Amino acid sequence: MKRHILVSEKNAAIAAIAKALDFPDWFGQNLDALYDSLSDLSWLPEGEYVLVVPANLDSSVSEVLRDAAKRTAESGDRKLRVIRTDR
């Protein structure tokens, strides 16, 4: 599944990612909860999930995405891939 995130500001990006991946109701709308959710993805079917994010995405959100993608690549049957774009 491929989802485009069109916002770069931290809180808006967190909300957009949560919506794009249909995060559970318990999601906490902060960076720690974002990492926890992206590192798990157990509520989603098996497969690869691709987030296309703006190149100017908030650096703290980018760091969480990078770390979560690395973690899912190392284990599990649900993988997160992040693509940065200028568009």
Share of the chain above pLDDT 70, in %: 99
Order of strands across the sheet with 47-54?
2-4, 47-54, 78-85
Contact 51, 17 (CB under 8 A): yes
Mean pLDDT value across the chain: 92
- Residue pLDDT, tens place only, 40-77: 899 899 999 999 999 999 999 999 999 999 999 987 79
